[in-house]
Amino acid sequence: GQSFCSVVARASGDREPLLLRVAKGEEAERTPVWLMRQAGRYMAAFREYSTKYPFRMRSETPEIAIELSLQPWRAFHPDGVIMFSDILTPLPSLGIEFDVVSGKGPVIETPIRSIEQIKSLNSMDDPATSLPFIQEILSALRSEIQNDSTLLGFIGTPWTLAAYAMEGTANRYCLKTKTIMHRNPKVLHALLDHLTEALVTYACYQIESGAQVIQLFDSWAHHLTPHQFEVFSLPYAERVIKGVEAVHPEVPVIFHMNGGTGKLELLGDSSANVIGLDSWVDMGAARDVLSGRMIQGNVDPVVLFGTEDAIRESVSTCLAKAKGGGHILNVGNGVIQGTPEDAVALFCELAHQSSNIPAVE
Ligand code: CP3
């Protein structure tokens, strides 16, 4: 409720916000929380906009994107505020147009499948000119939330964006992209290379606009075997992380992978500060593999459709199993449409009531 929010809201003062401190590996008074896709159609306030305005307009008009980013913050007081945008948002500035079609998800009318197309893509020379709304959204959010929450920027990984660009629409097998992978891998590598360069610039632009943490979404990592992940995703994600770190060493990076089961060992040496876990890996097992690393996750978002007891049980098990290193409580995949808002409120409140967590070595 209102009074709860205002008490927590003014608690931090000049100190860096909690989630940022935990992402940096510092000791903290409790476990921070946010939810992937916390701004979305499960919120009545969001639907007032999503039924009226198309997705690109909502995410590229600063007033609307700012409002949508702040809705979950006002309602649930998560420790992270993520800008309302999409992983595909930078693509049009490279010459890859997309739209979000109701019932179908993102659609790229002209998929990128040849070297000629890749050679004619734009580079991300001047994001302040090609994506000016990002700067407006992030700087306004930062001054709005101050040190009461952490402002998160985000990007898709080169693999996930390349797969969207090659596939055109979601496909169960990621068939077009993986066919190219196995017939003409140079084309895929060329696109990955182009996106990697662009994403370093884009992530740095988000930081310079006010983002305090950057999350990498490798949403389509589940299409890759561990070996394919090692060849087509991890090295490019690492180049992005190291590229950002070279310019902004103070900014922690969260690397969230969808489909981590069987690939976690590979992330043990990643340069990311925090490893984001989906729900398909046991938090205790992940904690063992990633000993001493900071981790984020990984409550099944469908649990939020369950009873209050079921939610309490899942969160407390997750918190207990994550102990022994820094942990940011989150769902393992984005919040699902139809999730009760009360359940999200409870999820956040359980983290607000959690106990202290130790620093990471
Ligand atoms: O987390 C947040 O609250 C910030 C907003 C956010 C959106 N997309 C808004 C959005 C974030 C962080 C994303 C990232 C994103 N986009 C990912 C990575 C996260 C994940 O789920 O793995 C992916 C894979 C995409 C691509 C994408 N864009 C999908 C799968 C969809 C959903 C399509 C649908 O119809 O449900 C989109 C569109 C989109 N992006 C929506 C939202 C709230 C839903 C459509 C709408 O609001 O009109």
Ligand 1 midpoint to CA 119 (Å): 28
Q: Whose CA is nearest to atom 8 of ligand 1?
A: 86
Distance 11 CA to ligand 1 centre (A): 31
Interface pTM, i.e. ipTM: 0.92
The strands making up 150-156's β-sheet, listed across from edge to edge, are 80-82, 150-156, 213-218, 253-257, 274-276, 294-299, 327-331
Please report the atom of ligand 1 found closest to the CA of residue 102: 35
- Provide the Cα torsion 270, 271, 273, 279; round to 10°: -20
37 CA distance to ligand 1 centroid (A)?
7
CATH numbers and ranges of domains, the chain: 19-352 (3.20.20.210)
Round the CA-based radius of gyration of the chain to a whole number and report it. 19
CA 116, CA 79: separation in Å to the nearest integer?
A: 44
> What separation in Å is there between the alpha carbon of 99 and the centre of ligand 1?
12
Which H helix or E strand runs over 284? helix 283-289
For the chain, 361 residues long, give each residue's pLDDT as a single digit of tens. Answer: 333 444 444 455 789 999 999 999 998 999 999 999 999 999 999 999 999 999 999 999 999 999 999 999 999 999 999 999 999 999 999 999 999 998 889 999 999 999 999 999 999 999 999 999 999 999 999 999 999 999 999 999 999 999 999 999 989 999 999 999 999 999 999 999 999 999 999 999 999 999 999 999 999 999 999 999 999 999 999 999 999 999 999 999 999 999 988 899 999 889 999 999 999 999 999 999 999 899 999 999 999 999 999 999 999 999 999 997 799 999 999 999 999 999 999 999 999 999 876 665 4
Residue to substitute in 50, 66, 87 for testing ligand 1 pocket (most ligand atoms within 8 angstroms of CB): 87
29 alpha carbon to ligand 1 midpoint, in Å? 31
Instruction: Supply angle C-alpha 96, 163, 69, rounded to 5.
Output: 70
Which residues sit with their C-beta closer than 6 Å to ligand 1? 36-41, 50, 55, 82, 84, 86-87, 100, 105-106, 154, 217, 219, 258, 334
Question: What is the distance in A from the centroid of ligand 1 to the CA of 357?
Answer: 31
